[in-house]
Amino acid sequence: MTRYLALPRRLAARPFRASTSGLSRSRLRASDLAAPHRDVRVPAALADDLLMRCVALSTVLPEGACFSHRTAALLWGLPMPASDGDDLHVTVPAPVRAPRIRGVVGHQSRAVERVRVPAGLWVSTPGRTICDSAPDLDRVQLVSVVDHLLSTRTAADLSESIAAHPHPQAARLARALAEARPGVDSPRETALRLAIVDAGFPEPVVNGYVQSAEGFIVAKADLSYPRYRVAIEYEGDHHRTDRRQWFRDVARYRELESLDWIALRVTTADLTPSPRDLLAQLALHLRRRGCPLPTLRLPPR
């Protein structure tokens, strides 16, 4: 078994540049160090995740660079769709040449808008990130990203950030901002809300509280029509697999039923390939409760 000299403490906890490490060439070639990029070493004990990959790359990026596009979106925790590739996106200020590194997609911009995050990385601002990511997102995905951002930022802040620089996606971004709502918990809830509104229903309340006659909060509905006591609950797979969540769901639906609320429970199967049957059922419940619905535009099956 090969024994290696232990790494100095300053090098053992994060990626580092080989050329400034002070380690010998033989030590830099040791199997307990990964070499994801030229002149970069990563202790094998460290996690091989997005954050660590970005930290490793940041050691050799030029001054003024930042992580951007899909990479920035993931670092901000935005709900991005799955992707076949895992390249890291980096933007540099002109006239600096965009990096040409294996596994890296380089971009150049006249105005790099970036902030430093706790991990020490420079990342494009949330507003700039959604501008850069918009071309790769469809309407529902883009609105779900903005929904997520509205949990920590106001629509006015995002609008100002988006308007700060001309962008080919400006019209789409403005529409997404108009359609986004704070308080949405997941992309599936965004898709459900947009399907309901697109079909011609009145817009439902997002994450509204249901109160008893005594004023106690008994439930928080994903989407609801309080006047007609109809709740629409999206149930991800954890509602089925998490035992405690399932018990909470049963108790919540019992409470809603006792208050004469209808709870329309929705799963991913109700949305794909078409939400037509779900929307027809919602229309039936609302009309029975006296809601004067207009002529609906139900999607084909």
Question: Residue 1's pLDDT is what?
Answer: 47
d(CA 130, CA 78): 9
* Domain locations in the chain as residue ranges: 58-179, 187-288
Q: Report d(CA 123, CA 78) in Å as an integer.
A: 13
Of 37, 34, 35, nearest to 101 by C-alpha is 37
Residues of the chain with confidence (pLDDT) below 70: 1-3, 236-243, 245, 247
Question: What local confidence, expressed as pLDDT, does residue 236 receive?
Answer: 65
The CATH superfamily holding the domain 187-288 is VSR Endonuclease (3.40.960.10)
CA 143, CA 197: separation in Å to the nearest integer? Answer: 13
What gap in Å lies between CA 110 and CA 132, rounded to an integer?
14
pTM, rounded to two decimals: 0.88
pLDDT confidence of residue 243: 65
Q: What is the pLDDT of residues 20-77, one digit of tens each?
A: 999 999 999 999 999 999 999 999 989 889 999 999 999 999 999 999 999 999 999 9
3-state secondary structure of 31: coil
Question: What burial letters (b/e) apply to 88-110, b meaning 16+ CB within 10 Å?
Answer: bbbbbbeebebbebeebbbbebe
Tell me, what's the pLDDT at 219?
A: 85
Strands 33-34 and 66-67: unpaired
Note the pLDDT of residue 240: 55
